[in-house]
């Protein structure tokens, strides 16, 4: 299923299972009506209904939005999915036609999305694909997509042609929507695998861009440093363990803020920043590494308090516009807060420009945009003592990295009700280093697929996986679910982006593209 709106169950690993139905919060008496807030709440309800299989309810929400004047390609697209869920293929086709008429520009989705298979046999479907392709080419031109990047052949850029060909083939086999390679600041290639470029949800790779907002505010003197207490911006956090939490703790996943392994509860809340503020700090800040979506959302509130602008508006002005990036969308919660944990949608080649800015130490076309010192702080070394691959919302990339599933994780899962029949299948891999690229496959094989993996991760959430590495970092990356990846390799003067829309072509563990790092690093032959 396409996921521009429906992200409630998407965690760092993949989509797991459907949430319970959610009753929308009752409106506050006498509160002024905010049409945009009502619109976002309607989308949230429709998304939850779709994920729960209540397609009639979702379709009713979409029909109300459409009749109320929200006649956009997104609304029509999801109405098409809801119609498919109710078994009305003819209505689904009509909604797809409306989506394309209103600018839907994702021909790759029309070609590949498994859910749309019943419609591909209908007369006129090929014409829809052609029209969507026209829309995509028009959107690229109007959006200035990729502007400012010169082109180079692989030979001119010093990229191995056999390695590149193998990489492109592997990316396609992994269900990729896009692959972009830059070397020496020039485009070696863009591949869209039957589609065209489109804005793609970067999932948790969004977090890396959020870290840049903090750096920009430090550069401006609006934030003293990463060691500023969160209470500087939210005085209600001045007491107890909350008073010890700094921005660095939020950026390094060591805040101790109570959170779940997935984001289901967050997506069911109306105000993601307030939801984080109201949570308890349950571990001494800095004492443990726990991947924390809730804490990252709090950074969106910090940016607004420090800058006086919403996170998306601030980054548009301070980062995207200087890079010539125009076609950007940032998902917001029903209260209007841009998400910190995910939600940034942009074209893959424009995402590569963000990586190129970092590779160029914060300078773009002779203009200093971001301080080199902040890029170093985020990416040069581990940000804490618990996980050698974690920088400040960026991930360090090594030639060899291993994940270790400890006995303590198994014991925690057992205490939380994981069946012994499942846990017994993990005995041969407990406390054994497994190459990071193979880890999810190994667990998936033993636990009966990704649903089993997610169940185990949720039951053992408070005990982290251990990570072991060999050698020094080769580069750094922003990464998110479904294999959203932005890799920067300074020593090779290389930037690679891979993005994917989960359309059912390949299983989730294949879609994560575990061979990505190794194949990207092989593009430039060693001297």
Domain harbouring 215, CATH code: 3.40.710.10
End-of-domain residue from the set 446, 464, 482? 464
Residue 425 counted as domain residue: yes
DSSP-assigned letters across all residues of 313-335: HHHIIIIITTTT----EE-B-TT
Q: Helix, strand or coil for residue 467? A: strand
Contact by Cβ (8 Å): 300, 337: yes
Any domain includes 79: yes
Give yes or no for residue 31 having a pLDDT over 70: no
- Give dist(CA 263, CA 171) in Å, integer: 27
What pLDDT score does 4 carry?
Answer: 40
Give me the half-sphere count of Cα atoms (radius 13 Å) on the Cβ side of residue 300: 32
**Does any domain span residue 14?**
no
Q: Which of 441, 464, 487 is the last residue of a domain?
A: 464
- Tell me: pLDDT of 30 over 90: no
For position 11, what pLDDT does the model report?
30
Question: Do residue 251 and residue 322 come from a single domain?
Answer: yes
Pair 53, 91 in one domain: yes
Which residue has better confidence, 27 or 153?
153
Q: Is 451 left (phi over 0), alpha (psi -120 to 50) or beta?
A: alpha
CB 191 within 8 A of CB 171: yes
Within a domain: 523: no
pLDDT at 135: 96
Q: For the residues 463-475, what does the mean pLDDT come to?
A: 92
**Residue pLDDT, tens place only, 267-318:** 989 999 999 999 999 999 999 999 999 999 999 999 999 999 999 999 999 9
- 42-76: b (≥16 Cβ within 10 Å) or e: bbbbbbbbbbbebbebbbbbbeebbeeebebbbbb
3-class DSSP state of 202: coil
Q: What is the mean pLDDT of the segment spanning 173-190?
A: 98
Separation between Cα atoms, residue 69 and residue 491, nearest integer Å: 52
- For residues 342 and 219, state if they share a domain: yes
Residue 6 has a pLDDT of: 39
State residue 32's pLDDT score.
53
For the chain, give the mean pLDDT: 91
Kindly state the tokens that stand for 181.
């390679």
Do residues 229 and 343 share a domain? yes
| pLDDT value of residue 245 | 98
My answer on whether 131 and 278 are in the same domain is no
Tokens of 383: 């940000």
Q: What is the CA radius of gyration of the chain?
A: 22
Tokens read off for 43: 């989308």
User: Residue 197 has which token pair?
Assistant: 């470029």
What number is the average pLDDT over the span 148-161? 97
Q: Do the domain assignments include residue 204?
A: yes
* pLDDT for 1 beyond 70: no
What sign results for the dihedral spanned by CA atoms 297, 363, 376, 477? positive
CB atoms within 10 A of CB 472: 9
Residues 420 and 385 reside in one and the same domain: no
CATH number of the domain within which 57 lies: 1.25.40
Residues 6+ apart with CB under 8 A from 43: 5, 61, 65
Q: Is residue 157 part of a domain?
A: no
Angle at 292 between CA 305 and CA 266, to 5 degrees: 75
Mean pLDDT, range 224-237, rounded to an integer: 98
Q: CA angle, corner 199, sides to 198 and 202, nearest 5? A: 130
Same domain (yes/no): 377, 250:
yes
Three-state SS across 214-238? HHHHHHCCCCCCCCCEHHHCCHHHC
Tokens of 404: 């270790």
Same domain, 232 and 355: yes
Q: In this structure, are 136 and 282 located in the same domain? A: no
User: Alpha-carbon distance 350 to 354, whole Å?
Assistant: 7
Q: Are 105 and 136 contacting, i.e. CB atoms less than 8 angstroms apart?
A: yes
With a cut of 80, say whether residue 337 has pLDDT above it.
yes
Phi/psi of residue 60, nearest 5 degrees: -60, -40
Look at residues 229, 164, 199 and name the one whose alpha carbon lies nearest to residue 326.
Answer: 199
DSSP 242: G
pLDDT the model gives residue 48: 86
Q: What is the pLDDT of residue 25?
A: 36
Q: What is the tens place of the pLDDT at every residue in 88-107? A: 999 999 999 999 999 999 99
Q: Give residue-wise pLDDT tens across range 114-140.
A: 999 999 999 999 999 999 999 999 999
Reported as a pLDDT band with limits 50, 70 and 90, residue 44 is: confident
Residue 498 lies in a domain: no
Tally of structural domains, the chain? 3
The CA–CA distances, whole Å, from 513 to 268, 445, 482, 510 equal: 30, 16, 8, 6
Burial label for 102, CB within 10 Å (0-12, 13-18, 19+), is: middle
Q: What is the rounded distance in angstroms from the CA atom of residue 395 to the CA atom of residue 486?
A: 10
Cβ-contact 516, 498 below 8 angstroms: yes
**pLDDT score at 82:** 95
Query: In angstroms, rounded to a whole number, what is the distance separating the alpha carbons of residues 110 and 177?
Result: 12
Name the helix (H) or strand (E) containing 404: strand 400-404
Higher-confidence position of 1 and 228: 228
Adjacent-strand bridge partners of 190:
180
Q: Which residues contact 417 (CB under 8 A, 6 or more apart)?
A: 459
Boundary-marking domain end, from 142, 160, 192:
142
What share of the chain has pLDDT > 90, as a percent? Answer: 84
**Could you tell me if 92 and 206 lie in one domain?**
no
> What is the structure's pLDDT at 465?
87
Residues 347 and 263 in one domain: yes
Q: Is the pLDDT of residue 28 over 70?
A: no
Q: Please say whether the beta carbons of 486 and 355 come within 8 A.
A: yes
State the average pLDDT over residues 465-471.
92
Segment 399-427 shows an average pLDDT of 95
- Label the pairing between strands 466-470 and 329-330: unpaired
Name every residue whose Cβ is closer than 8 Å to that of residue 278 and which is 6 or more positions away in sequence. none
Which segment of 135-149, 338-352, 359-373, 435-449 scores lowest on mean pLDDT?
435-449
The C-alpha atoms of residue 484 and residue 502 are separated, in whole angstroms, by 11
Q: Residue 166 falls within a domain, yes or no?
A: no
Q: Taking CA 74 as the corner, what is the angle to CA 73 and CA 79, rounded to the nearest 5 degrees?
A: 95
Judging by DSSP bridges, how do beta strands 400-404 and 466-470 pair with one another? antiparallel
Contacts of 499 (CB under 8 A, 6+ apart): 176, 177, 178, 200, 202, 348, 351, 483, 484, 485
Residues 335 and 212 in one domain: yes
pLDDT, position 33: 53
Query: Read out DSSP for 339-400?
Result: PSSS-EEE-HHHHHHHHHHHHTTTEETTEE-S-HHHHHHHHSS-SSSS-TTB-SSSEEE-SE
The domain containing residue 216 runs over which residues?
Answer: 200-390
């Amino acid at each position: 299923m396409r996921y521009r709106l429906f992200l409630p169950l998407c965690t760092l690993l993949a989509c797991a299972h459907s949430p319970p139905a959610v009753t929308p919060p009752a409106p506050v008496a006498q509160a002024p009506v905010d049409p945009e807030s009502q619109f976002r709440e309607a989308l949230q309800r429709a998304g939850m209904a779709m994920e729960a299989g209540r397609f009639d309810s979702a379709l009713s929400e979409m029909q109300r939005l459409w009749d109320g004047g929200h006649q956009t390609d997104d609304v029509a697209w999801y109405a098409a999915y809801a119609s498919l869920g109710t078994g009305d293929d003819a209505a689904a086709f009509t909604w797809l036609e409306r989506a394309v008429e209103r600018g839907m520009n994702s021909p790759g989705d029309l070609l590949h999305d498994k859910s749309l298979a019943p419609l591909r046999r209908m007369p006129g479907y090929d014409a829809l694909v052609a029209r969507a392709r026209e829309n995509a080419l028009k959107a690229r031109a109007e959006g200035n997509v990729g502007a400012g990047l010169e082109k180079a052949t692989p030979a001119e850029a010093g990229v191995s042609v056999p390695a590149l060909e193998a990489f492109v083939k592997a990316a396609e086999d992994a269900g990729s929507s896009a692959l972009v390679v830059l070397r020496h600041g020039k485009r070696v290639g863009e591949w869209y695998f039957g589609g065209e470029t489109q804005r793609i949800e970067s999932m948790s790779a969004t977090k890396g861009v959020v870290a840049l907002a903090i750096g920009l505010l430090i550069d401006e003197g609006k934030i003293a440093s990463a060691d500023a207490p969160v209470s500087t911006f939210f005085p209600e956090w001045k007491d107890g363990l909350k008073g010890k939490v700094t921005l660095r703790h939020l950026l390094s996943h060591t805040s101790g803020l109570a959170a779940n392994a997935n984001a289901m509860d967050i997506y069911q809340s109306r105000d993601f920043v307030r939801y984080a503020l109201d949570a308890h700090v349950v571990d001494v800040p800095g004492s443990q590494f726990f991947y924390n979506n809730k804490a990252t959302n709090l950074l969106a509130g910090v940016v607004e308090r420090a800058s006086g602008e919403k996170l998306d508006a601030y980054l548009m002005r301070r980062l995207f516009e200087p890079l010539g990036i125009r076609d950007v969308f940032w998902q917001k919660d029903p209260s209007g807060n841009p998400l910190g944990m995910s939600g940034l949608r942009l074209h893959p080649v424009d995402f590569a420009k963000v990586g190129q800015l970092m590779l160029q130490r914060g300078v773009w076309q002779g203009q200093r945009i971001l301080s080199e010192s902040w890029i170093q702080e985020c990416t040069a070394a581990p940000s804490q003592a618990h996980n050698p691959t974690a920088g400040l919302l960026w991930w360090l990339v090594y030639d060899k990295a291993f994940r270790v599933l400890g006995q303590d994780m198994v014991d925690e899962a057992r205490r939380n009700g994981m069946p012994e029949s499942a846990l017994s299948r993990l005995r041969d891999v407990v406390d054994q280093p497994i190459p990071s690229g193979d880890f999810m496959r190994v667990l998936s094989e033993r636990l009966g697929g990704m649903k089993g993996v997610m169940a185990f991760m949720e039951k053992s959430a408070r005990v982290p996986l251990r990570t072991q590495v060999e050698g020094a970092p080769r580069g750094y990356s922003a990464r998110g679910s479904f294999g959203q990846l932005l890799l920067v390799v300074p020593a090779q003067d290389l930037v690679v982006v891979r993005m994917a829309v989960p359309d059912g072509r390949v299983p989730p563990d294949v879609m994560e593209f575990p061979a990505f790092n190794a194949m990207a690093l092989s593009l430039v032959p060693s001297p």
